[in-house]
Amino acid sequence: MLRFLLLVAAFAVTACSPADKPASFRNTDITGVDYGSHFELTDHNGVKRSLADYRGKVVTVFFGYTQCPDVCPTNLSTMASVMQLLGDDAARVQVLFITVDPERDTPELLKQYVPAFDPRFVGLYGTAEQTAAVAREFKVFYRKSGDTSGSNYTVDHSAGTYVFDPAGHLRLYVKHGTAAEDIAADIHQLLTAK
């Protein structure tokens, strides 16, 4: 009986060890949500891309457009800071920028704009229909506003970032304006999880 009690006590201690504690993220944990895992768009070099192409990396996905006056450049600048904070681990992270303005965001424009923040960043585009379908998969809102009769419109859009773990599972939602340090800490945790 004593051996049995010792065995139960040993199991209880191991079951509660820190290695078994669930991850504690600084950003919103949405583990189990199945958004966007099957999208396919074209990158700014003309190559068809899907999430599976980046398996083994943490992937961040942000929807925006190149003529965005504030949110989009702020997000990409923050992600550039995240990459610096991650150091060597940044090689295992892929930042994806999906345009919600395929009418104006040509591959050439995306190729100039997106990698200007970090050469490893990739801009993705599709037809208007493909863009709408991918946005629906991610529950992302966007619409033209202002003078929509010409090409001087703006695009209102959701401003959060989705983060997939190296196995391709959606894990985090990052609100716009989150500090680079908090994003880097969560990405590091995803990269080192067993």
**Which residue ranges make up the annotated binding site?**
68, 72, 157
Query: What backbone torsions phi and psi does residue 178 show, to the nearest 5 degrees?
Result: -70, 140
Annotated binding site for Cu cation: 68, 72, 157
Q: CB of 114 within 8 A of CB of 76?
A: yes
Q: CB of 76 within 8 A of CB of 117?
A: yes
Which of 192, 181, 141 has the alpha carbon at shortest distance from 27?
A: 181
Q: CB of 96 within 8 A of CB of 122?
A: yes
Q: Please state, in angstroms and as integers, the Cα–Cα distance from residue 125 to each residue in 12, 94, 173, following that order.
A: 51, 16, 21
Query: ∠ CA(145), CA(67), CA(151), 5° rounding?
Result: 55
